[in-house]
Amino acid sequence: MSDIAFVLRMMCVSTVLALISLTASAADLRVVVSGGFAQAYKDLTPAYEQLSGDHLISGWGPSMGNTVNAIPARLARGEAIDVVIMVGDALDRLMAEGKLEPGSKVVLANSLIACAVRTGSPQPDIRTVEGLKSAFLNARKVAYSDSASGEYIKHRLMQILQIEAQMQGKAAQIPATPVGEIIAQGEADFGCQQHSELLPVKGITIVGLIPDQVQLTTPFAAAIVKGSLHAQEANRLLRFLSAPASAAAIRATGLAPVSTP
């Protein structure tokens, strides 16, 4: 992005904040973000802090699963959190359980699944369903996540491709660690995860999105945690992240922004 374009975008962001925060005071906001939206959040929030005066205390964890950092586990043990940003379906479950403020959900972006190999390795052609199937079968070791994309791959995609039996013993669901890092370290030679989670990882080459016929679109959404002492400031953050001025930064991380006026 050019310097002029960046300045113009930040002016738009500044206008958004000015309109929504005339009466709001600065606060320390505790935010936990799942991997698919993490890079977009990291790219956007320095400008947000500068313009709003709020200080963001950020944490990271999967939207589901049994790891200690998983967002449902954090809320279950009463960790002090103001905002969660996570896979939409998992957020809806927390909302139904009464863990989040009713009506506070904001959909931020949609995410697609991509696959990658270690940099320098042969790149399989996964543009067709048969090509994707061959990539799985020809790999020595396959990795996928323990969150939304991995659950889909494990429980649906393998079944659709009719390779469940063949992948036994060489396909592994990776808890906590990004799939791209497992590939970069040579622990797997092929792996799939949300495109936005693979994009920032060094040492891998993204070979493409999985075909439309077997693709899964995953929405990422944010909401305010029930009982937050900073609900007004949390709402300000949600409105900033979902504003049209934030769309370009979200798109640059491999997500499709869902902007609201």
Least confident of 65-69, 128-132, 191-195, 213-217: 65-69
Whole-number Å distance between alpha carbons of 136 and 170? 9
pTM to 2 decimal places? 0.84
Q: How confident is the model at residue 260 (pLDDT cuts 50, 70, 90)?
A: low
Q: Residue 242: which pLDDT band, with cuts at 50, 70 and 90?
A: very high
Q: Is the pLDDT of residue 179 over 90?
A: yes
pLDDT band at 259, cuts 50/70/90?
confident
The mean pLDDT value for 184-206 works out to 96
